[in-house]
Amino acid sequence: MSEAISRLRQEAEEAKSAWKPRVKDITEDFTSASNQLEPGQLVKDEWFTLFEAVGALEVCNQLLALGSTCR
């Protein structure tokens, strides 16, 4: 059994070292796209529902986001 555990640990380490996060700075793209919006205009994809919108509002609402501080 310890051989199997050793093999799994080795495979996990190999997989972890092979994974490289892809990070891209989208600041300019986001700023450019947001500058094309009119005041009050909303951009929504098919996966962003009222549930996610309310969740986003809750994050900085001190009555709903227990233990967090927003500035």
User: What number of CA atoms fall less than 13 Å from residue 61's CA on the CB side?
Assistant: 8
Global confidence as pTM:
0.38
Q: Name the least confident of 1-5, 31-35, 57-61.
A: 57-61
pLDDT tens sequence across 29-38: 989 988 999 9
Residue-averaged pLDDT of the chain: 78
Q: How many CB atoms lie within 10 A of CB 58?
A: 12
Q: How much is the average pLDDT of 40-69?
A: 71
Q: What tokens were used for 26?
A: 């989208």
Give residue limits of the domains in the chain: 2-59
62/40: higher pLDDT: 40
Q: Name the least confident of 23-27, 32-36, 61-65.
A: 61-65
